[in-house]
Amino acid sequence: MCGIAGAFHFEQLPDKAAVEPMLRALAHRGPDDRSIEQLPDGHLGANRLAIVDVEGGRNPITEESGRFCVALNGEVYNHGPLRKELSARGASFETRTDTEVVARLFLEQPVKALGRLKGMFALAVYDRKTRTLTLARDRLGQKPLYWTILANGTFLFASEMAGLLAHPDVKRKVNPDALSQLLLSEYIAAPSTLYEGIYKLEAGCLLEANKSGHQIRRWWTPPTPGLQDDKRGLSELADAVWGAFQISVLHRMEAEVPLSYLLSGGLDSSALCAMAAEKSKTPLQSFSMSFEEKSFDESEAAAAVAKHLGCVHKTLHFGSEALPRVLNHIEQDMSEPLTDGGYAAMWMLSEQVSAAGFKVALSGDGADEHFGGYPTYLAHSLARATRPAHGVLGQLAKRLPVSTSNLSKSYQARRFLAGANLETARRNQVWLGAFLPEEIPEILVNPGDPWGATDKWAAQSSLAPQPGQQAMFLDQRLYLAEGVLQKVDRASMAHGLEVRSPFLDHDLVDLASRLPQKALWRGHQSKVLMRKMLENKLPTEILKRPKKGFGTPVGTWLKGPCAGLLQDLENRLEGLIHPEPIRQIVREHQQGVQDHRRRLWTLLVLSRWAQGPWGPTD
């Protein structure tokens, strides 16, 4: 795991000094070493977090022939078998790192190299022979990569946008479409960013740059759920998925440093720990987060799972008094706002796991989106059927008491009705987001189109046979890749912690895409196959637990002990958001008239970005 950055110009070599501040802005991603390699057309640098070949490894690295130089952010889990395969054909290696294996693989199989890699990665490969720079991201988008081109033609890239903004010639002009998308979705999807002229490379894509210009193409096409149903029975499918999951977990348990496990007490992280406990020679070191707000707290369930599996478990506490400190730290690293409500909790969890001496943690991210875990997948089938009764249902929803509890019934009912009349892709986005689309033109000073990313994937999602499967595909491409995984990456890497998720193994994802709908949800039960798979492996009460989600009780806190964080909010957002809607949202929430937790958290995070070190200048 590392932070990578580079500056290239194919007519005139850029100044090496330009890359140094870019890497300094990414220092938290790799505190163990920093290196810059001068190449014929530019400079390639990395901050290293030493996980593999701790003492002898380095990044960037050039393979034995001298042709390919690679900088890698992430982990290639099958680098061991690939090393053996390449060695059998005569390759020699100076280190045990996965980065050197990737470089040597490009020498032998430049076209097929990416398809051979299992893992999470964003990488830069420079070919001295063709004088071409190639950037690539992993299939699911676990590791980020940003790029831009300066007015003088210099091509810049970095693991975080802060790396680009550290260059004095990069402009900071807000992109109205991206800002509108943030208010709708709580994230900004690739290839856009909040700044015009700065881009994120999309998951599963590569970019090639040389003296002729640059081009982007997709090297991996995501599978569409339900297009190819696996005809095996539920028990056979459960055995097949458990076998694939075993391989994925074992790959992610390989490390030269101690491993930790993020155990929430939910089905996904419990499944991970159940598998890992079977394979580990020592008790797992697990961590969970507790809250005073009972609807958010899963610590008792996590402790029960840990006891059942024999883990050495530690429960960490996140109280409202810590939110201002966490928010201040997030602001300092926030080059692009991300307003997922679980960001603060993930930041706090990462801080304490890192402080306990761990560089690597395993998590259960990705199971919901691939195995049918969200209640919205069931709700999509109801949306059309309830249309004739929307008027009556709307009146009933208004009578429900306002609540800031986790997954409150009143909030879910109002959101359901707000999106019920939309087509599947837009409906799914409304159900998951902060502001409603009709609210955005009224509050933004310079509104744009919030639907670009959603509409982009709508056509492919519609190929799935069921609305719930269509929503799964959209969540995989958008909510998971652009929201959840970026939250995890930013929060964990702020503390030099690498988070690995076995549910994001692409072979497991491909297998999940062929599961019939009855293996995903049935009636009111979600994750049917996963629950079958875990019979006799976890306590019954864990298998029957409803979905809670990993969040932060910001609704309650902003109404009570942290209400002061909203003071002067309208002035801190001057020029971006009209002041009166902000005052109304704050007033209604704090008086208990409406539950505006997601809107307020979005505005609060946006204000911290606007006033922070990486905020707009134009």
Listing DSSP states for 322-356 in one string gives GHHHHHHHHHHH-SS----TTHHHHHHHHHHHHHT
The verdict on whether omega for the bond into residue 191 sits within 30 degrees of 0, i.e. cis, is yes
Q: What is the mean pLDDT of residues 535-547?
A: 88
Residue 206 pLDDT more than 90?
A: yes
d(CA 473, CA 223): 8
Residues 6+ positions from 278 with CB-CB distance below 8 Å: none
| CA 411/CA 428 separation, integer angstroms | 15
Token pair recorded at residue 93: 């290696």
Strand partners, 48: 2, 33
Question: What's the pLDDT score for residue 6?
Answer: 97
Residue range 340-366: mean pLDDT, rounded: 96
Average pLDDT of the chain?
A: 92
Alpha helices in 72-112 (DSSP H): 79-88, 98-108
Q: What is the pLDDT of residue 388?
A: 54
Average pLDDT over residues 53-66: 85
Q: Which residues of 284-308 are buried (b: 16+ CB within 10 A; e: fewer)?
A: bbbbbbbbebebbbbbebbbbbbeb
pLDDT class for 403, splitting at 50, 70, 90? low
Contact indicator for 144, 198 with CB cutoff of 8 Å: no
Is a pLDDT exceeding 80 seen at residue 407?
A: no
Residue 246 CB neighbour total at 10 angstroms? 15
pLDDT at 395 over 60: no
* Total number of residues shown for the chain: 618
Could you tell me if 126 and 43 are in contact, meaning their C-beta atoms sit under 8 angstroms apart? no
Cβ distance 277 to 311 under 8 Å?
yes
What confidence tier does 32 reach under pLDDT thresholds 50, 70, 90? confident
- DSSP 8-state secondary structure symbol assigned to residue 27: G
The pLDDT tens digits of the residues spanning 225-254 come to 999 888 899 999 999 999 999 999 999 998
d(CA 598, CA 559): 12
User: Which residue in this structure is represented by tokens 């810049």?
Assistant: 156
Nearest-angstrom CA–CA distance, 137 and 207: 9
* CA atoms within 13 Å, Cβ hemisphere of 307: 9
| pLDDT interval class at 421 (50, 70, 90) | confident
Closest CA to 466 of 377, 585, 531: 377
Q: Are residues 450 and 437 in contact, defined by beta-carbon separation less than 8 angstroms?
A: yes
The residues with which 136 forms a beta bridge, in sequence order, are: 123, 206
d(CA 359, CA 222): 30
Domain annotation for the chain: domains and CATH numbers = 2-218 (3.60.20.10), 234-371+486-543 (3.40.50.620)
**pLDDT on residue 415:** 80
Report, in angstroms and rounded to the nearest whole number, the Rg of the chain calculated over CA atoms. Answer: 24
Residue 129 has pLDDT above 70, yes or no: yes
Please check whether residue 565 is in contact with residue 558, taking contact to mean a CB–CB distance below 8 angstroms: yes
Q: Is 70 exposed, middle or buried (0-12, 13-18, 19+ CB in 10 A)?
A: buried
- Residue 399's pLDDT band (cuts 50, 70, 90): low
Say what the pLDDT of residue 394 is. 56
pLDDT in tens, 363-373: 999 999 999 99
Give the residue-averaged pLDDT of 129-152: 97
Helix/strand/coil (H/E/C) assignment for every residue in 169-180: CCCCCECHHHHH
Residue 187 confidence class, pLDDT cut points 50, 70, 90: very high
Find out whether the peptide bond into 516 is cis, omega within 30 degrees of 0. Answer: no
Q: What is the Cα–Cα distance from 183 to 3, expressed in whole angstroms?
A: 28
Cα(116)–Cα(138) distance, rounded to whole angstroms? 11
Q: What is the average per-residue pLDDT within 171-195?
A: 97
Q: What is the mean pLDDT of residues 484-489?
A: 96
pLDDT band, very low/low/confident/very high, at 58 (cuts 50, 70, 90): confident
- Provide the 10 A C-beta neighbour count for residue 412: 16
Longest pairwise C-alpha distance within the chain: 73
Helix (H) and strand (E) counts for the chain? 27, 19
| pLDDT at residue 398 in the model | 56
pTM of the model: 0.95
